[in-house]
Amino acid sequence: MATRSITVQTSPSLALIKYWGKSDIGKNLPATSSLAVTLDGLFTETTISTSETDLVIVDGKQAPQERYAPFFNNLRKQYGTHSKFSIDSRSNFPASAGLASSSSGFAALAYGCAKLIDPNAEETVISECARLGSASAARAVYGGFTILPRNGAYAQQILEKSHWPELRIIIAITKSSEKKIASREAMEAARKTSPYYAEWIAQSEELFLHAVAACKKRDLDVLGPLMRQSYLMMFSTMFTSTPPVFYWEPESIALIKACEDLRENGYSAWETMDAGPQVKIVCLERNVSHILETLKKRSPGTTFMISQPGNGPLIR
Ligand code: DP6
């Protein structure tokens, strides 16, 4: 059969309220509800071709087959096909460094493979396929603001990117090397060993519900403290795992402190972090230049990118 190809561009999904922990490991179902925004300007570009065998190349390197096998097997089952796929994927931001590269990576894979098989593939089915690869990827198959409910099979878009045009996300890249512990391993260690894990699961739903309401109202002063509580509770489960997981670097703390000082001076700058040392600062367009100037002074070696709510997958 003739080879068919498609090229897809997807942006990563930044969680404002975090998914951390699984309610079913085999099915990769999330134990907490997450609220996220798809990031404009950062992207993964993936070319997918039908092939004799499954082969995944990420940033020029062959990726381990076992990481992708459950995804491909489920996709074939879902769409009733025997097709195999050859993948070539590149991102314009560092991979596996806590910048949600697995969200944009698996979203591109799910979207591209599904569209190759069935041009009318439904978004919720694509999201479900993406989740089997990486749960955060279930959200990255949409633009704007998204949710993935706890135990949810697929994510949904709750608000278009145009809902909050003033919102900005400053991405502070403190260190771009690959992390030593994958988020998948770290969340599993937290589930098994952290005495705070049960409390994190118990409290995160309330944070999620309030954050969704704040996002709908475009109220950053309400959303910000909820975001902060979410990422700090998530990290508390890592710090208290055995052995502990510690992704932060001195620059991460310098940036957290800088945000605290900015807020004391009346600037709404709310940081969040994921499984890595990078810091993402959520703020409003009118304050970006002052906030950026302050952050640069406080962490001179850091690279900054400015993002805003972005689009879902694009076929190139
Ligand atoms: C901290 O989606 O990478 O970024 O489902 O095991 O692949 P797997 O995990 P992954 O975890 C993301 C965790 C997070 C928070 C979030 O994006 O909600």
H or E stretch covering 6: strand 5-10
Q: How many residues does the chain have?
A: 316
Residue 147 Cα to ligand 1 midpoint, Å, equals 13
Percent of the chain whose predicted confidence (pLDDT) is above 70: 99
Best mutation site among 183, 234, 238, 247 for ligand 1 pocket (most ligand atoms within 8 Å of CB): 183
Residue 183: CB partners within 8 Å, gap ≥ 6? 102, 274, 275
Quick: pLDDT tens for 183-196: 999 999 999 999 99
- Residue 96: pLDDT band with limits 50, 70, 90: low
Quick: pLDDT tens for 128-138: 999 999 999 99
Closest atom, ligand 1, to C-alpha of 275: 1
Closest atom, ligand 1, to C-alpha of 135: 5
Quick: pLDDT tens for 230-260: 999 999 999 999 999 999 999 999 999 999 9
- In the predicted model, what is the mean pLDDT of residues 41-61? 93
Nearest-CA residue for ligand 1 atom 4 is 274
Best mutation site among 17, 33, 136 for ligand 1 pocket (most ligand atoms within 8 Å of CB): 136
Which of 171, 191, 192 minimizes the C-alpha distance to 276? 171
Q: What is the DSSP letter of 95?
A: T
Is the beta carbon of 89 within 6 A of some atom in ligand 1? Answer: no
pLDDT of residue 97 exceeding 90: no
Residue 290 Cα to ligand 1 midpoint, Å, equals 31
Is the beta carbon of 237 within 6 A of some atom in ligand 1? Answer: no
Is the beta carbon of 275 within 6 A of some atom in ligand 1? Answer: yes
Residue 14 Cα to ligand 1 midpoint, Å, equals 10
Which of 307, 266, 311 minimizes the C-alpha distance to 290? 266
Largest pairwise CA distance in the chain: 64
**Torsion sign, CA atoms 169, 12, 43, 245:** positive
Q: How many CA atoms lie within 13 A of 43 on its CB side?
A: 20
Is the beta carbon of 227 within 6 A of some atom in ligand 1? Answer: no
* Residue whose structure tokens are 């890249």: 173
- In the predicted model, what is the mean pLDDT of residues 64-89? 92
Q: How far is CA 232 from CA 1, 16, 171, 196, 200, in A?
A: 52, 12, 18, 12, 10
Residue 137 Cα to ligand 1 midpoint, Å, equals 8
pTM: 0.96
- Helices (H), ranges, the chain: 65-79, 101-117, 123-133, 183-193, 197-216, 220-239, 250-264, 288-298
> Measured between alpha carbons, how far is 106 from 255 in angstroms, rounded to an integer?
30
* Residue whose structure tokens are 């922990």: 21
How do beta strands 145-148 and 34-38 pair?
Answer: antiparallel
pLDDT for 98 equals 67
pLDDT for 65 equals 87
243 cis-preceded (ω within 30 degrees of 0): yes
Residue 65 Cα to ligand 1 midpoint, Å, equals 19
- Residue 179: pLDDT band with limits 50, 70, 90: confident
Percent of the chain whose predicted confidence (pLDDT) is above 90: 91
> Measured between alpha carbons, how far is 223 from 274 in angstroms, rounded to an integer?
17
- Residue 95: pLDDT band with limits 50, 70, 90: confident
Residue 80 Cα to ligand 1 midpoint, Å, equals 28
pLDDT for 39 equals 97
- In the predicted model, what is the mean pLDDT of residues 17-29? 96
- Residue 118: pLDDT band with limits 50, 70, 90: very high
Is the beta carbon of 15 within 6 A of some atom in ligand 1? Answer: yes
Give the mean pLDDT of the chain. Answer: 95
- In the predicted model, what is the mean pLDDT of residues 113-119? 93
Which of 125, 120, 144 minimizes the C-alpha distance to 35? 144
Is the beta carbon of 96 within 6 A of some atom in ligand 1? Answer: no
- In the predicted model, what is the mean pLDDT of residues 171-186? 89
* Residue whose structure tokens are 């809902």: 163
**Residue 76: what are its φ and ψ, rounded to 5°?**
-65, -40
- In the predicted model, what is the mean pLDDT of residues 148-167? 98
- Residue 2: pLDDT band with limits 50, 70, 90: confident
Which of 140, 110, 118, 120 minimizes the C-alpha distance to 12? 140
Best mutation site among 19, 139, 169, 179 for ligand 1 pocket (most ligand atoms within 8 Å of CB): 19
Is the beta carbon of 38 within 6 A of some atom in ligand 1? Answer: no
> Measured between alpha carbons, how far is 223 from 65 in angstroms, rounded to an integer?
39
